[in-house]
Amino acid sequence: MLEIVYAENIIVGVVKGNQFTWYILDKDDLYDVLYDQLDYVAMSNLIEKHKTTVEYLRTCMLKEHYRCADDTLKFNPSVYINFDTMCLFSLYPEYTAFERMVYGNWKGKFFDFMDIIPEEEKYWIVNGKNYIEDTFNYFVKKGIRAEWDVQ
């Protein structure tokens, strides 16, 4: 499985036929998917080897909890692609605007899609605790915004 490296790899949720799946993609792979005009067959062939599970994402996230702010950011889901409704939502924090790369009848939007993820797929929530939000707030309170701020 692909290691998650901030600003190199992104976590993508995909819906097809009402089935939800997580992927850890290299940014270039996502560009390729978008340039293929979000064709599901092309996407499946391209990224199937990067399919992941809630358990894997949760294990990685908990192992790196509170290490540094960038480690928290890399576990934020960045893109949501729904082939059933032909929409792409992006929360990607860097300068890449994936939501502007959609074609044809697709709709793209910079949008906080966290609430539409099925509850059982929210790897960042463990025993009712939202680890992404909790860790982010921890670093904000300490005034640490990025890895280079850590003393």
Q: Convert the chain into a string of H (helix), E (strand) and C (coil).
A: CCCCCCCCEEEEEEEECCEEEEEEEEHHHHHHHHHCCCCHHHHHHHHHHHEECHHHHHHHHHHHCCCCHHHHHCCCEEEEEECCCCEEEECCCCCCCHHHHCCCCCEEEECCCHHHCCHHHCCCEECCEEHHHHHHHHHHHHCCCCHHHCC
Residues 53, 29 contacting (CB under 8 angstroms): no
Rounded average pLDDT over 65-91 = 82
Per-residue pLDDT tens over the stretch 80-131: 999 899 999 999 877 678 898 888 888 999 999 999 999 999 999 999 988 8
**pLDDT band at 74, cuts 50/70/90?**
confident
Strands 129-130 and 125-126: antiparallel
The CA distance from 84 to 95, in Å, is 27
Predicted pLDDT of residue 68: 59
Per-residue pLDDT tens over the stretch 6-51: 778 899 999 999 999 999 998 888 887 787 676 777 777 777 888 9
Predicted pLDDT of residue 61: 87
The CA distance from 62 to 24, in Å, is 17
Rounded average pLDDT over 40-66 = 82
Predicted pLDDT of residue 107: 93
pTM: predicted TM-score of the whole model, two decimal places:
0.83
